[in-house]
């Protein structure tokens, strides 16, 4: 099931969740209407109105809060990936100020490292893993910087800037890898699913004169919940699913380097 969801497009996933949520809500509705008639709520007074409004409001507030939090986390991780690629490009550019041998070795290793990240490390990010080859390549880049000994004050200033960029990049890379996980913990998912079921059951308990209108309303509730779960699924893990963050900033970095080298 997880593999199926990850291979679906955004429109395919939305359609699947809408069909599933509407079907489950209608099934729950008809089961309650058939076997739990003694529980039906038939109150046209003020208390019925209060109860009818309170439950959807509470559940809607919880879903809205969690969805916005997941979306903000997704955008934050996406911004981190962009900063990481830009910092790596700045490292490549600052190597121009180093001696020719150090420059060539450093820039070649930076290009090789970016390719490894794109081709080998990115596909396994959703498992919160990093590629050992990418780790070794980054270590070689660190050794190139650390082993260089500047011979003048200008070289010292440039070298300090390079070391600072390398430190910033290491932190950004660590943040990317640590963010490659589900934003919502299992208890939160369980709470959201239970809340959705309780809302459907609560809505199905009301007694209406026109059962067809009631069924349409239940289907609309189920569809709304399906949309909420769609948003949660695509934003929960930034590196998994149809809206997974792609290594586009690293690819653009390599394209920029190719333009510079012409």
Could you state, in order of their start, the residue ranges of all structural domains in the chain?
Answer: 2-261
- Of the candidates 81, 14, 107, the one whose C-alpha atom is nearest the C-alpha of residue 244 is 81
pLDDT band at 19 (very low <50, low <70, confident <90, very high): very high
Q: Which residues are bridge partners to 41 per DSSP?
A: 206
pLDDT at 60: 86
Phi first, then psi, for residue 206 (nearest 5°) are: -70, 150
| Contact (Cβ atoms closer than 8 angstroms) between residue 158 and residue 103 | no
Residue 101: is its pLDDT beyond 80? yes
Using the predicted structure, report yes or no on whether residue 7 has a pLDDT greater than 80: no
How far, in Å, are 112, 146, 181, 197, 233 from residue 2 at the CA level?
A: 33, 44, 14, 21, 11
CA 139 to chain centre: 28
The radius of gyration of the chain's CA atoms, rounded to the nearest angstrom, is 27
Tokens describing residue 128: 């919160």
pLDDT in tens, 216-225: 999 999 999 9
The 8-class DSSP code of residue 36 comes to -
Check: CB of residue 10 under 8 Å from CB of residue 234: yes
Amino acid 205: pLDDT: 80
Beta-bridged to residue 206, according to DSSP, are 41
User: What pLDDT is stored for residue 38 in this prediction?
Assistant: 61
**Residue 92 or 203, more confident:** 92
Q: In 123-166, at which residue ranges do the beta strands (DSSP E only) sit?
A: none
Residues 6+ apart with CB under 8 A from 83: 172
- Which pLDDT score is estimated for 153? 85
Q: Tell me, what's the pLDDT at 2?
A: 61
**Average pLDDT of the chain to the nearest whole number:** 87
Tell me the C-alpha to C-alpha distance, in Å, between residue 86 and each of 99, 136, 166. 23, 21, 12
Q: Indicate if the alpha-carbon torsion angle 142, 148, 150, 154 is positive or negative.
A: negative
């Amino acid at each position: 099931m997880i593999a199926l969801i990850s291979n679906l497009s955004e429109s395919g996933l939305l359609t699947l969740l809408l069909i599933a949520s509407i079907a489950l809500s209608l099934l729950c509705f008809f089961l309650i209407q058939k076997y739990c008639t003694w529980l039906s709520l038939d109150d046209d007074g003020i208390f019925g109105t209060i109860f009818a409004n309170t439950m959807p409001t509470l559940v809607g507030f919880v879903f809205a809060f969690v969805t916005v939090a997941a979306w903000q986390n997704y955008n934050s991780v996406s911004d981190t990936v962009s900063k990481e690629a830009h910092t790596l490009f700045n490292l490549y550019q600052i190597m121009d100020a180093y001696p020719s041998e150090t420059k060539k070795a450093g820039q070649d290793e930076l290009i090789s490292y970016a390719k490894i990240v794109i081709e080998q490390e990115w596909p396994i990010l959703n498992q919160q893993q990093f590629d050992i080859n990418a780790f070794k390549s980054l270590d070689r880049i660190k050794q190139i910087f650390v082993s260089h000994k500047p011979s003048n004050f200008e070289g010292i200033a440039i070298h300090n800037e390079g070391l600072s960029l390398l430190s910033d990049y290491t932190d950004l890379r660590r943040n990317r890898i640590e963010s490659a996980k589900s934003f919502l913990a299992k208890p939160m998912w369980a709470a959201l699913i239970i809340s959705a079921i309780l809302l459907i059951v609560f809505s199905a308990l009301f007694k209406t004169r026109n059962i067809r209108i009631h069924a349409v309303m239940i289907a609309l509730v189920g569809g709304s919940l399906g949309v909420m779960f769609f948003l949660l699924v695509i934003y929960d893990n930034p590196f998994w699913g149809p809206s997974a963050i792609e290594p586009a900033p690293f690819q653009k970095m390599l394209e920029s380097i190719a333009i510079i080298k012409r």
